[in-house]
Amino acid sequence: MATDSNALQDQEIPIGSLKNLGKYLKFDLVSGFLVFLIALPLCLAISLASGYPAIAGIFTAVIGGLVATFISDSELSIKGPAAGLIVIALGCMNEFGYTGGQDPAADMQAYKMALGVGMAAAAVQILFAIFRTGILGEFFPTAAVHGMLAAIGVIIIAKQIPVAVGLSAKGEPLELLREIPDKLMHMNPEIGLIGAISLLILFGLPLIKNKYVKLVPAQLVVILVAIPLGMYFDLAHDHTYTLHHHVYEVGEQHLVSVPFNILNAITFPDFSGLQNAFAWKWVAMYALIGSLESLLSAKAVDMIDPWKRKTNLDRDLVAVGVGNLIASFIGGLPMISEIVRSRANIDNGARTRFANLFHGLFLLGCVALLPSVIHQIPLAALAAMLIYTGFRLAHPREFVHVFKVGREQFVIYVTTLVAVLATDLLIGVGIGIALKFCIHIFNGAPLKSLFLPEIEVLEEQDGTYRIVAANSVVFSNWLAFRRKIVEAGLVQRHNVSVDLTDARLVDHTVMEKLHELERDFEREGLQLKIIGLDNHQPLSAHPHAARKRPQLPLDPTS
């Protein structure tokens, strides 16, 4: 990638301090502008899919750029609304009486109450950070988290396909999936054509290998094509047309609705909704799922950062929490560190966190100066972008990848996916985690070791440390195990070897986390060795597959 070669040219690691603003201005300004082109339609689409006004997502991204930039030390992550929180946002709106436009007064009241929930969740996120719970991103089993994200992708697709063909959609995820063929049969042809062309661009453009074509964001091409199509079909004026003896209605309801004065769009929260017990369920879901997604995204950005800079996850969570507090106060959606836009930021050559600031400033300028242009964007085009996003979350390659990691991981992944579709996010993830415990017990993990790891720290004669683990080393006891490794190695500045000879079971999540820690040690000029797995049987050929020692019988007294 171009970014990698550019990194080699820099004599020092870029740091986003004000004194370096001019030094990296040309890189960050260009990247901020290109990310803005991607973020604008996605922010609008995520807002509408969440039941919020279109402008709400812009508020969030602007706050993410103007506020979170100066709190977080994550140099390349982009803060803003995320498709992964659509399910929570819309569920919260529905429970407060959202009608999908049938009763504007009821919808506004639901919106204000949802903002109150957002502020409460933001306060919880800040508390998470104060009590240094950013490490909780290390706890959740990988297969269950990925299964949850895949389920979110499926739900987004099910809810947005009707919008892409000019129809409305309401109901539970499984019900919406069953109705997709019927929706396609009864589509509004003009709107469906805009949606289909948008999808063709989104899926087709990445397949073109030309380097100049790759410089143009597919979302921008969609907008440049969809707006003229909307004008050709005269969507700005309500009218009917006839095709094959069927009469169809089109009009402004198929275009994005934005205020022409951004100040008029500011909406303050109504905290009376927090008197309802169910509101706190949504507070918990916003805080837990939002924090988890943000932490995972921040870690993913660190892994692809050309300069291998490491984010302080607690500080990043403070930035997200403060950003959410302000965004919810003025009418915005919840924000996270968003991986897709962050990846685009890296690919576009950003150097420091000021690229996030510039992306927020460009968004602010656009909605303040060009609202009439935004109003011309067809909703079908935005729905197509979300369908594409949902497809990427639930990509068939992910199913294949999880299966290669291990059949037990695949079972957990699919079970979590189906459970989320059939229930909700928290219950679905809980079912996935419960299944993981059952599999661990079946594979010989003693019950008492599932949460309390048996660890011995030994200092070797050469000054290194050897950490010996017994019984099981699994996701649920990983935090305590990790703490010993980090304390002996990264804190006390020693090389460390992790001896797993006596471990009956080492699960996939721990194998993956150990390899991540290897990279952390390497960045610090230290070495982490993983030894003692020669006699363990991997559950698949994947290097991060779970391992167990089948030759040792389970001790019933353990």
DSSP 8-state symbol, 12: S
- Nearest CA to 410 among 420, 400, 419? 400
Distance of CA 314 to the CA centre of its chain: 17
CB 148 within 8 A of CB 430: no
Cα 223–chain centre separation: 23
Q: Domain spanning 447-548 has what CATH number?
A: 3.30.750.24
Phi, psi (degrees; rounded to nearest 5) at 78: -105, 125
Contacts of 116 (CB under 8 A, 6+ apart): 269, 270, 271, 272, 273, 274, 279, 328
Write down the residue that tokens 């935004």 correspond to: 374
Enter the tokens of residue 507. Answer: 């699960």
Q: How far apart are CA 542 and CA 368, in angstroms?
A: 51
**Do 289 and 152 touch, CB atoms closer than 8 A?**
no
Q: What Å distances lie between residue 128 and 75, 149, 325, 533, CA to CA?
A: 21, 22, 14, 36
Domain with CATH 3.30.750.24 in the chain: 447-548
Q: Amino acid identity of 501?
A: T
Radius of gyration of the chain (CA): 25
HEC string of 438-485 equals HHHHHCCCCHHHHCCCEEEEEECCCCCEEEEEEEEECHHHHHHHHHHH
> Under a CB-based contact definition with an 8 Å cutoff, are residues 83 and 389 in contact?
yes
pLDDT along the chain (558 residues), means of 10: 44 84 94 96 96 97 97 96 94 95 95 98 95 76 93 95 93 92 95 98 93 88 97 96 94 94 95 96 94 90 89 94 98 94 93 97 95 96 96 95 96 97 91 95 89 90 91 92 94 95 94 92 93 93 91 48
CA–CA–CA angle 72, 76, 80 (5° rounding): 70
DSSP H helices in 205-304: 211-214, 218-232, 277-304
Q: Is 250 helix (H, G, I), strand (E, B) or coil?
A: strand
Calculate the alpha carbon distances from 497 to 429, 461, 491, 531 in Å.
33, 13, 15, 7
Burial class (CB in 10 A: 0-12, 13-18, 19+), 334: buried
Decide: 84 and 152 in contact? Cβ < 8 Å. yes
First vs last C-alpha separation in the chain: 52
Q: What is the pLDDT of residue 303?
A: 83
The three-state secondary structure class of 498 is: strand
pLDDT of residue 11: 54
